[in-house]
């Protein structure tokens, strides 16, 4: 696939597209050994060799990571204005600039996917692919069979209807209940709002799976690369083909 030279330079992390145009005009960019000054030039990233100031530039390696986000970290990169900790400090040993796909609340734990693959990220977030997300929710009160039946039918929240794919009691913990709830949407605070609307406010929330990805035994605060098998399953779940 052919792409504009300035786009390629920004994809490789050299600079923004606009500043890339300046580099091109200044004659600092070569394609297959020839200086190129035409801003409209397109290149084939698979075939053409692009250099800036005599150094070859290549797109960064695609990274796909899952992080077990601990409680009390913001799902954002960089520093937070409030001084709260952000997930940035948990992934600072990853050289590529990876971005979180979706978010978890400050006090929610669990599976967060991070990648620098924009196409995959867009598909995962797109409602068309309906990737199920599984949560363990410790809620206040003992959830009865009757409440579970009502939850399964769904309810109307202030921003529209909400219906889980499934919900079940894992166990009772004293006066509280540990639920496993699966939803395939990502509205803000959806699990907390849904369960609170049935009179069971969430005490603790953890995401344990997104589509084929499971948090497993990954300790809180740690990340790992996805395996080729997980990548094949994830790509196929959103209608893409993974080739390693």
The pair of three-digit structure tokens given for residue 142, joined into one six-digit string: 């003992």
Least CB distance from residue 235 to ligand URA, whole Å?
24
Which one, 40 or 161, has the nearer CB to ligand URA?
161
Site for ligand URA in 11-40 (CB under 6 A): none
Q: Give the nearer residue to ligand URA in terms of CB position, either 179 or 190.
A: 190
Under the binding rule (CB under 6 A), the answer on residue 191 touching ligand URA is: yes
Residue with tokens 């979706």: 102
For 104, other C-beta atoms within 10 Å of its C-beta total 22
- Whole-angstrom Cα Rg for the chain: 22
| Start-end of H helices in 31-187 | 118-125, 145-153
Give the whole-angstrom CA distance, residue 4 versus residue 7: 5
Q: For the CB of residue 164, give the shortest distance to ligand URA in the complex, in Å.
A: 11
Is 105 known to be catalytic? Answer: yes
Residues 75-134 that bind ligand URA (CB under 6 A): 104-105, 108
Q: Which of 31, 114, 143, 205 binds ligand URA (CB under 6 A)?
A: 205
Which C-beta is closer to ligand URA: that of 11 or that of 137? 137
Q: Are 9 and 52 in contact (CB under 8 A)?
A: yes
Question: CA–CA separation, 221 vs 144, rounded Å?
Answer: 34
Q: 55 is written with which tokens?
A: 């150094």
With respect to ligand URA, which residue has the nearer C-beta, 24 or 74?
Answer: 74
Residue nearer to ligand URA on the CB measure, 10 or 76: 76
CB of 144 to ligand URA, least distance (A): 22
DSSP state of 211: T
Strand partners, 175: none
Query: What are the residues whose beta carbons fall under 8 Å from the beta carbon of 37, sequence distance 6 or more?
Result: 24, 25, 27
Active-site residue, from 21, 48, 53, 105: 105
Instruction: Give contact residues for ligand URA (rule: CB under 6 A).
Output: 104-105, 108, 189-192, 205
For the annotated catalytic residues, the residue numbers are: 105
């Amino acid at each position: 696939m052919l792409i504009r030279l300035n786009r390629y330079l920004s994809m490789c992390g050299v600079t923004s597209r606009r500043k890339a145009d300046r580099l091109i005009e200044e004659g600092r960019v070569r394609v297959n050994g020839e200086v190129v000054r035409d801003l409209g030039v397109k290149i084939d990233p698979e075939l053409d060799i692009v250099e800036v100031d005599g150094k070859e530039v290549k797109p960064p390696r695609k990274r796909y990571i899952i992080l077990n986000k601990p409680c009390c970290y913001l799902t954002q990169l960089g520093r937070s204005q409030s001084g709260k900790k952000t997930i940035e400090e948990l992934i600072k040993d990853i050289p590529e600039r990876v971005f979180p796909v979706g978010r978890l609340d400050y006090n929610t734990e669990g599976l967060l996917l991070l990648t620098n693959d924009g196409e995959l990220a867009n598909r995962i977030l797109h409602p068309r692919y309906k990737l199920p997300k599984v949560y363990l929710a410790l809620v206040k009160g003992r959830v009865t069979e009757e409440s579970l039946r009502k939850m399964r039918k769904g309810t109307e929240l202030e921003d529209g209807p909400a219906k889980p794919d499934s919900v079940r009691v894992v166990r009772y913990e004293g006066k509280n209940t540990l639920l496993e709830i699966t939803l395939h949407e990502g509205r803000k605070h959806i699990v907390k709002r849904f369960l609170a609307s049935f009179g069971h406010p969430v005490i603790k929330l953890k995401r344990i799976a997104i589509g084929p990805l499971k948090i497993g035994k990954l300790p809180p605060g740690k990340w790992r690369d996805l395996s080729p098998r997980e990548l094949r399953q994830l790509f196929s779940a959103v209608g893409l083909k993974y080739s390693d």
